[in-house]
Amino acid sequence: MIDLQTVLTYLTLISVPVGVLYHIMTLRNTRKNQELTLKAQELATETRQAQLFMSIYQSMNTSEGLEAGLHIHDVKMKTAEDLNQLVNEEEKWKAWNWYGNYLEGIGVLVKENLVDISHVAQLISGTILWYWEEYREVTMAAREELDWPRYSIEVEYLYNRIVEYGKAHPELKLMSPSKLNP
Residue 74 has pLDDT above 60, yes or no: yes
Q: What band does 140 get if pLDDT is binned at 50, 70 and 90?
A: very high
CA distance 133 to 177: 9
Contact 107, 157 (CB under 8 A): yes
CB-neighbour burial class of residue 56 (10 A; exposed 0-12, middle 13-18, buried 19+): middle
Task: Assess contact for 99 and 72: CB atoms under 8 A.
Answer: yes
Our CA angle for 49, 55, 57, nearest 5°, is 105
Which pLDDT belongs to residue 176? 63
Q: Does pLDDT of 131 surpass 90?
A: yes
pLDDT tens track for 19-63: 888 888 888 888 888 887 888 787 777 788 778 878 888 888 888
CA 12 to the chain's CA centroid: 59
The pLDDT, as a whole number, for residue 164 is 94
Q: What is the mean pLDDT of residues 143-165?
A: 94
